[in-house]
Amino acid sequence: METSGLTRDFGKFRAIKDVSLQVEKGVLTSLIGPNGAGKTTFYNCVTGKFPPTSGRVLFKGEDITGLPAHAIQQMGLSRSFQIVNIFQELSVVDNIKAVLIAKEKKNWNFIKLVQKDKALHDEALEIVEKLGLKEKYNSICNELSHGDRRRVDIGLAVASNPEMILLDEPTAGMNPNETIEVMDLINHLRTDTGATFFLTEHDMDVVFSISERIVVLHQGSIIADGKPDDIKADHSVQEVYLGGVL
């Protein structure tokens, strides 16, 4: 994925300013920055939630700037959200089935497919098992813990078999044990799916332990880009993060 001069205005406020970066295939890259830095706006422009004011987004060499979100996902670029975005009243396995049905463009017969399609059920169950939720496959999602709901949310991004997955704050609201489990899950899914993971995250322990490359956004602009050790030693990044301590 590549962005060139990506800019997004909200009235007179410029949320991201001339953001140009390339995300290499297979390299786990994290986008970090203080609250209000523009991370979610960047995600929204890349994934089609709303178009950039100017600039371009390329995926696999194709210009996807301004395409609707469903078209971008069908091209192989998927995402999860900072706020868990799942079907709370459906079971874990039926959540995954919904994505599989949409991927195959079978949504015209959703209820019948969910209830009677064994191949669909088996495929969904395989993904549920990868998420570590096999024992809870039939549990209604609003009865799950926050950590397990987050797993389902990641599963929705994975189920469309994407080549790249953008995760927005995947450990938000988690306790330390849940955070470790989700980090392990991401590493497992990288190996299992071969997808490229790109994530935003506020937990610096997570960022520096899991990332191969870190991009730092501040007031809508990139101020640093490099390997974790280089970012940790960067004085401009230290100044951004609370008095020079990373």
Tens digits of residue pLDDT in 20-58: 999 999 999 999 999 899 999 999 999 999 999 999 999
* CATH number at 1-69+212-246: 3.40.50.300
Which tokens go with 157?
Answer: 């991004």
The pTM score is 0.88
**Which pLDDT value is given to residue 67?**
95
The distance from CA 125 to its chain's CA centroid, rounded to whole angstroms, is 22
Torsion over CA: 42, 48, 50, 55 (sign) = positive
Q: Which fold has domain 76-163+170-195?
A: Rossmann fold (3.40.50)
CB atoms within 10 A of CB 28: 17
State the virtual CA torsion across 136, 142, 145, 147 in degrees, nearest 10. 90
**Which pLDDT value is given to residue 95?**
92
Q: Confidence band (pLDDT; 50, 70, 90) for 84?
A: confident
Beta carbons within 8 Å of 65's beta carbon, 6+ residues apart: 51, 52, 55, 56, 57
pLDDT tens-digit series, residues 160-215 = 899 999 999 999 888 999 999 999 999 999 999 999 999 998 889 999 999 999 99
Topology alike, domains 1-69+212-246 and 76-163+170-195: yes
Does position 106 have pLDDT exceeding 60, yes or no? Answer: no
What residues does each domain of the chain span? 1-69+212-246, 76-163+170-195
What number is the average pLDDT over the span 210-222?
A: 96
What number is the average pLDDT over the span 52-75?
A: 95
